[in-house]
Structure 1
């Protein structure tokens, strides 16, 4: 529809000329107005939202099972159902990572601040996770992959030689009065240089600017003198006096100059200037020139032909026929210097770049090849109209360049990419990009985009450059990895503690840890994790999209949680048989006084509290990286400091009055020998399980 030359679309800017039109559609019934329907669509939930919801349901399911079981086991074993109820509540609290909302928010906020310093502004915090998980980026060509500035490549005669006169003749068409500036004329004026400001010898007598219907610009000028141009081979002059036929009156030359599209210009030319003389433009020459210009278009050039003829006082701009073909202009919208390198880095980072453009297929293919996008096959909008969603979904797996697209085509492609399981980002800056941006999972725009686009964007770039976006993606991935560190480590640690509590509850006549002590244990550990947003992230982890994967969280919990429980059982055994009897004066069943039994319980709970904190901090540093801990990858200084602070608080607390108030007892020196053995064995076991976990191609974070 957008190719229909008989239609005027709402939102079109009229540069010049006049027309009589019949209104056939208004408001949202018009093509431009129909784009506003994008704002009425319910935007699909992002991967971050889906991940948070699924993780919440998983925690609720675990809680629904473990809390009743722990209450029953504790109540039956101890006979105190009120204590069992309180313990069940503490189990529910212990299984829940209380600091999850805070640490996730801190991670996202810090990521947003860092990205803003890198010229990428995040308008929604949860967009950071989505940006980090993006694996397909859809972009337009103009202004994103290219500079967006049309430049004149060459002005040549039909003999293929550079010609300043062809450029000068084309420059004359830019002098038409009441003509709004356009990229092609701007490029011609820039190439003409300083002489473009010297119009004293030129008087414009009439002209018609370029328009999409005529596809040519015509001007009639009177010149008091002329400039000549010799071909670089030393041939004859190409000028209005060398066979092009100029009407002259004394020192004044009157000529008509026309520049325009190849298909419009060739039928209007009767002769061609070759080697300084005008020759008949035969059918053979027309065919040769058509193939030449088609080859230029194939290589990404935009081509305009330039012709002229002599005129009299009675000649009008409508008489632009019987012209002499002088030469042609080739224009380029050059790729940005760093576009190819940036796209190569994106490919290495697991991001496929797909070009969606309304431009011609030949131009799109040329630019795609120059910047490193797969352009073996280019699909046009008309081809899309004849394809089913199933067929198009198959094409999307092997095609990365789409040309001559409407806004609806772009939105359809983005939607199908998402249906194929990709996390799709779309980068646009015009109103016609709104449907595709709305259909994408992460909408990206530049600060130079239209107001409606900026309001719809999730991420806004202060500089429209893919390199800025790549840096933002890297930072967002770093943020996601750190966020996932806390989620996986906290949940697996809590899960291990709950398993230990439930097992202990079946065999112990007392609760292994008081509810207030369990809450305190989680609180101290979570405070240590507050520094995770500032932790270092290994470079190899950033080479692939970071996604919130609930199944991966469940696998992590099920592998590493039981490892913690295994060493809890070792700790329980040593506490029950050696350390606590030494403190209380005998094994628990042998004790008869309430005081001695309370002392036994306090010593047991103190020992497990201290060991639990050390094992959790050890797991944090063993599992924060896939490399060798402390050697191949070191934690950040803030995380090291908070970890040491947590260990110090947990270890020193039983020696303080606050510890006594919370039911702790001063531990014997032998506890620290047990602690050293358990931590050493635990670290070795975690590394072994981590190796098996990675060997099965399971990403750690």
Structure 2
């Protein structure tokens, strides 16, 4: 078929309607639909189609500006309330109060902005993965063009080492193999060949298609471009990533709820007290100032900044555990994870194919060592053997080495395979035996592998004559063999031996092993070399069992996940039997495996039920992963999704927390994630979960501590008004307590070490409020105690010296709260069990708080701004004695609970 004219091409495309399933068509049908042929398109036709379809690039989602990201930091209800409080303070002339509030708001915004600016770059990363250049046939000539200029109907040439520039229907292939792991999750390269396939063929098995963004690892071929840009499978995933909305974290929702509650409480109390004061004939301006003081007392101004700083410090701690957090709330969210949906290849496994067994006709040999390092032993039973001294094993290894295109090289960072992983595994096995191709004979002929033949042959010119070395599916080679190498001698392949070997092939396959057989044949002189003539009367040598070995720490990580109440689900594009076997070896119990086809035939309700017992999902697409997350989310599960490929990007973005691989992960996966595993180690997730749980526990601790302090301030002010006393604390003193003294100790409380059983309890309920009824009770009891002590101190002195009385109340409340912070280190274990010095930062913060209070009491300039007066040493001693029972009562409470057997069962923070 020649080059069609422009009108014919446009007509054929216009009539096609919805895009067909290209893999189901024959070459002639596709050429007719796309108006193309062996000579490709004309220049005029290409220009017309570029105008119609657009360039072969991904559409870019509008990037958020720096201003947008910065303004988003002010969406929190608490932040909005603080800004309103600052405005009111300005209106009533309290500029110092307003300035202090705005400083803390600005600090919070800057910290949040600095962490979030790198987010939202998934589409840019996707775009970078597209090839920059491509070779096409146009007007009968080969041309190198910018890949963005490819249009549907172009004839595209692909070769080893290149990325596929568009979705192609293969029309010619020579040993063509494509690595589709970034797109489908399939761990081994896919052989490509022309032909049509049934409609139900899954994406990972479409051997007549090559997809944009994948890599050619062997051979070469020609294909017709059937989809470009956003119409490619690659582009569809980019579109899914754009459509997925960011998920609000549990902590963000809880803090917003807390902010709304505190705002309503602040307004209600302030209005009520102002009304009471007016009824007491107090002046309106005085009562307005008191109302502002109450609002400031109720709202913990330092809470947003302390939360932000605690999360930022947690990020640094996680980085030491090889968990790179990209968004502040993600570190806390990780601690709430109840389900981890993990990829298999490169996550639970090493993504390095390894020969573990070689079965020759005479014996089974175990091969030790994992990965691509040529280090290991050959064992028969428990006995180590010399592989070169065993004629059958030596010949098998030499054959698979010679009938091979992969090479092994030592580079910076370790050993690397150039070629397909499966062929690489055979090269490594031969290298473990001391074999190499350095002295290989001359190659004279090759019959390439394809999915129909399931074998390849390379003929070498040996000293004794030409020899054909054959590698392929062991059952195919057995059918072509009439002899076998047994005990160093070539013997007839009897039916009994053939049946025995076939049975063992099935046994190996049932264990999830990938199998490759080998055979050879000295060729008689004068034989005409064709596939049929050469590949017969072969001498069968045996077959190897190859696995992608599990990471050694993955099994322990899964066990720890179980003890922490975290469900693990393997989601992979690999073969279901292989995936199930690896899951079983890792200790991941599952009732069989579900395939992508199974998912499509099930309702959401059925899928939800199956996921309770079936933990292995194979042959899945990006859409399937999104559906699984949707189904799991109906139970309010907090879902972590791990992955490394392009196909993982939408699910990584939609999951509660997306976790990408740092070493083998694509840029797309990393930019779509919330966290990156620097070492690609699944076990690091467990360390991250522990750190996340510690962070949330500490956020809960200092939230309760700050609120109990604020209740104390509220009780002191309201109680004083009801008793007809002057204002006990002025607004600037309350701000000093909330932002400086309480802020330091609260931040130090955020560094409290994790409790010893933090990974032996179930994940927290993400719907549960950060403050429960019992927590409010604890806060109220302690706050009322602190407030009444403050009123007691003030009431005995105000008639003598108001400034001194206010300073005693101000200083006393700070001392009482510094005692109280020790109570919140744990509500389960007393100090002598957790260790008084186990959080030295907190002790330094307590001493720092006392030192700062001494400064504001004795430095004249602070006396003016904060309304303080110097105190005597006796005053300090009295306040210290009055506050000591607060700590003693808290310790006694914990001891009583432990002796009653309740402390060990209680949550780590008062619930």
Asked whether the 8 Å contact 2:716–2:791 carries over to 1, the reply is: no
Considering only aligned residues, what root-mean-square deviation do their CA atoms show, in Å?
Answer: 3.4
Pair 1:456-2:672 in alignment:
yes
Q: 1:68 aligns with which of 250, 266, 271?
A: 271
Asked whether the 8 Å contact 1:269–1:281 carries over to 2, the reply is: no
1:518 deviation in Å? 2.5
Pair 1:99-2:276 in alignment:
no
Indicate the SS of the match to 1:553: coil
Distance in 1 (CA, whole Å) between partners of 2:267 and 2:474 is 74
Pair 1:488-2:726 in alignment:
no
Distance in 2 (CA, whole Å) between partners of 1:565 and 1:337 is 51
Q: 1:526 aligns with which of 731, 743, 765?
A: 743
Asked whether the 8 Å contact 1:28–1:36 carries over to 2, the reply is: yes
Q: Counterpart in 2 of 1:384? A: 599
Indicate the SS of the match to 1:141: coil
Q: Counterpart in 1 of 2:14? A: none
Pair 1:555-2:794 in alignment:
no
Structure 1 residues 132 and 175, CA gap change in structure 2 (3 angstroms): closer
Distance in 1 (CA, whole Å) between partners of 2:437 and 2:733 is 88
Q: Counterpart in 2 of 1:541? A: 758
Larger gyration radius, structure 1 or structure 2? 1
Q: Counterpart in 2 of 1:611? A: 812
Distance in 2 (CA, whole Å) between partners of 1:78 and 1:558 is 34
Indicate the SS of the match to 2:235: helix
Q: 1:683 aligns with which of 867, 887, 893?
A: 887
Q: 1:28 aligns with which of 230, 233, 238?
A: 230
Indicate the SS of the match to 1:328: strand
Distance in 2 (CA, whole Å) between partners of 1:390 and 1:150 is 37
Deviations 1:171-218 (A, max 9, x none): 2211699x9722222222222237643564623221133344433222
Pair 1:512-2:734 in alignment:
no
Q: Counterpart in 2 of 1:121? A: 324
Q: 2:529 aligns with which of 304, 308, 315?
A: 315
Q: 1:356 aligns with which of 571, 576, 579?
A: 571
Moved more, 33-42 or 521-530: 521-530
Pair 1:296-2:505 in alignment:
no
Pair 1:197-2:436 in alignment:
yes
Distance in 1 (CA, whole Å) between partners of 2:398 and 2:552 is 30
Distance in 2 (CA, whole Å) between partners of 1:508 and 1:663 is 21
Distance in 2 (CA, whole Å) between partners of 1:688 and 1:65 is 35
Distance in 2 (CA, whole Å) between partners of 1:117 and 1:651 is 38
Deviations 1:274-320 (A, max 9, x none): 564543554x7655433322221222321112233443430223543
User: Matched residue pairs, number?
Assistant: 655
1:687 deviation in Å? 4.6
Q: Counterpart in 1 of 2:470? A: 258
Asked whether the 8 Å contact 2:749–2:842 carries over to 1, the reply is: yes
Distance in 1 (CA, whole Å) between partners of 2:441 and 2:905 is 78
Asked whether the 8 Å contact 1:16–1:209 carries over to 2, the reply is: no
Structure 1 residues 160 and 78, CA gap change in structure 2 (3 angstroms): farther
1:32 deviation in Å? 2.5
- Structure 1 length normalisation: TM-score? 0.83
Structure 1 residues 505 and 404, CA gap change in structure 2 (3 angstroms): same
Give runs of aligned pairs for residues 607-686 of structure 1, distance below 5 A. 607-625=808-826, 626-634=828-836, 636-650=839-853, 657=860, 658-659=862-863, 662-664=866-868, 675=879, 678-686=882-890
Pair 1:13-2:215 in alignment:
yes
Deviations 1:615-673 (A, max 9, x none): 22222111121310255333522221221232354478556654477455667888668
Structure 1 residues 688 and 385, CA gap change in structure 2 (3 angstroms): farther
Q: Counterpart in 1 of 2:314? A: 111
Distance in 1 (CA, whole Å) between partners of 2:248 and 2:306 is 22
Q: Counterpart in 1 of 2:401? A: 171
Structure 1 residues 52 and 216, CA gap change in structure 2 (3 angstroms): farther
Structure 1 residues 164 and 623, CA gap change in structure 2 (3 angstroms): same
Asked whether the 8 Å contact 2:459–2:467 carries over to 1, the reply is: yes
Asked whether the 8 Å contact 2:711–2:779 carries over to 1, the reply is: yes
Structure 1 residues 208 and 487, CA gap change in structure 2 (3 angstroms): farther
Structure 1 residues 576 and 534, CA gap change in structure 2 (3 angstroms): closer
Q: Counterpart in 2 of 1:219? A: 458
Indicate the SS of the match to 1:315: coil
Deviations 1:564-596 (A, max 9, x none): 34425653674587x33xx74xxxxxxxxxxx6
Deviations 1:345-385 (A, max 9, x none): 33334433322122222222222232222234322222222
Distance in 2 (CA, whole Å) between partners of 1:358 and 1:463 is 22
1:133 deviation in Å? 2.4
Distance in 2 (CA, whole Å) between partners of 1:182 and 1:398 is 35
Deviations 1:81-136 (A, max 9, x none): 21111111111112222222322232222222233344332222222112232232
Indicate the SS of the match to 1:174: coil
Deviations 1:302-341 (A, max 9, x none): 1112233443430223543454433111112222222223
Q: 2:258 aligns with which of 55, 59, 62?
A: 55
Deviations 1:381-405 (A, max 9, x none): 2222221111111222223222232
Unmatched runs of 5 consecutive residues or more in structure 2: 1-201, 366-392, 408-416
Asked whether the 8 Å contact 1:627–1:633 carries over to 2, the reply is: no
Structure 1 residues 155 and 576, CA gap change in structure 2 (3 angstroms): closer
Asked whether the 8 Å contact 2:483–2:490 carries over to 1, the reply is: no
Distance in 2 (CA, whole Å) between partners of 1:97 and 1:12 is 53
- Structure 2 length normalisation: TM-score? 0.65
Distance in 2 (CA, whole Å) between partners of 1:329 and 1:443 is 37
More helix by share: 1
Structure 1 residues 407 and 269, CA gap change in structure 2 (3 angstroms): farther
Deviations 1:539-562 (A, max 9, x none): 333555578776232536521232
Distance in 1 (CA, whole Å) between partners of 2:688 and 2:406 is 46
Structure 1 residues 570 and 105, CA gap change in structure 2 (3 angstroms): closer
Distance in 2 (CA, whole Å) between partners of 1:660 and 1:188 is 82
Structure 1 residues 295 and 260, CA gap change in structure 2 (3 angstroms): same
Indicate the SS of the match to 2:209: coil
Distance in 1 (CA, whole Å) between partners of 2:646 and 2:855 is 63
Structure 1 residues 386 and 288, CA gap change in structure 2 (3 angstroms): farther
Deviations 1:199-241 (A, max 9, x none): 64623221133344433222222321xxxxxxxxxxxxxxxxx
Deviations 1:495-547 (A, max 9, x none): 34324433442332533333333333323322343433444343333555578
Asked whether the 8 Å contact 2:822–2:887 carries over to 1, the reply is: no
Distance in 2 (CA, whole Å) between partners of 1:72 and 1:668 is 38
Distance in 2 (CA, whole Å) between partners of 1:695 and 1:119 is 31
Which of structures 1 and 2 has the larger relative contact order (alpha carbons within 8 angstroms, sep 6+)?
1
1:411 deviation in Å? 2.8
Q: Counterpart in 2 of 1:700? A: 909
Q: Counterpart in 1 of 2:50? A: none
Asked whether the 8 Å contact 1:447–1:462 carries over to 2, the reply is: yes
